[in-house]
Amino acid sequence: MATIPTTSLASIDLSEYDPEQSRLMDERCIVVTPDDIAIGALDKKTCHLMANINKGLLHRAFSAFVFHPATGKLLLQQRATEKITFPDMWTNTCCSHPLDDFEEEKVEEEQRGVRVAATRKLDHELGIPPAQVPPDNFQYLTRIHYLAPSDGLWGEHEVDYILFITSEVTVTPNLNEIRDHKWVDKKELQDMFDAPGNSFTPWFKLIARDYLFSWWDVLLSKKNPETGLYDAKYALKGAVDGSKVVKMV
């Protein structure tokens, strides 16, 4: 059975960083194998240091994409300057982790844990009320395994669950988490990618390169006949075989 790397893991003093972001680094991520088998838990700081990532340390994450049900636009966020990893970069609506700290977020059946975590973090980062993004309304698509350095010291090494949801949401940003947000259509997002000066998180670039635009096309190709609105669960259910982890490393 696989185990957490037994070689000594690096640590670091966070006193020079934003106090709230430093506090959040104590949260415990779920450590997994490349096949997404949970093998333990370690604090977020340990999981995101490149010195430990280079030893094979891998954890579970999610990337949530919120689309407007009437317009089909995607909600983006720009990460706050205070963020320890990938500050000031544009990314999908919310990217974070199910935590070992919460029993329900460890539930793997029907991706329950990552769905619950997505609802929690959309509230924490963007102030979106949980009733507007309930766990059962997310459409799970697939899992990707990727590795991305941030600044040499920090990075990401994740099995990342991709979740789509359509909802008319109320956004009240937590400015310690995000510095800006916007709704974009496909062309507006492509224009952002093409414009000089914009920077994007590596996982968002990977998902956009290989998956986002084609799945977005499927979402926009048919509305739910009962509501007349775009509906991720209606349009995308069964559209992707999410049973295996897609290796992107």
Specify whether the CB–CB gap between 172 and 115 falls below 8 A. Answer: no
Catalytic member of 95, 125, 156, 177: 95
* CB contact burial 137-153 (16+ within 10 A = b; e otherwise): bbbbbbbbbbebebeee
Tokens found for residue 190: 């492509």
d(CA 86, CA 195): 19
The answer for 194, left when phi > 0, alpha when psi is -120 to 50, beta otherwise, is alpha
Report the chain's terminal Cα–Cα distance, integer Å: 22
Burial status of residue 43 (CB atoms within 10 A of its CB: 0-12, 13-18, 19 or more):
middle
Specify whether the CB–CB gap between 147 and 155 falls below 8 A. Answer: yes
d(CA 61, CA 160): 5
Q: Is 95 one of the catalytic residues?
A: yes
Cα–Cα distance list, 116 to 5, 96, 165, 224, 229 (Å)? 28, 12, 13, 24, 24
Q: Is 47 one of the catalytic residues?
A: no
- Residue bearing tokens 């996982």: 203
DSSP designation for 191: H
Catalytic member of 82, 125, 158, 177: 158
φ, ψ at 184 (rounded to 5°): -135, 150
* Residues assigned a catalytic role: 95, 158
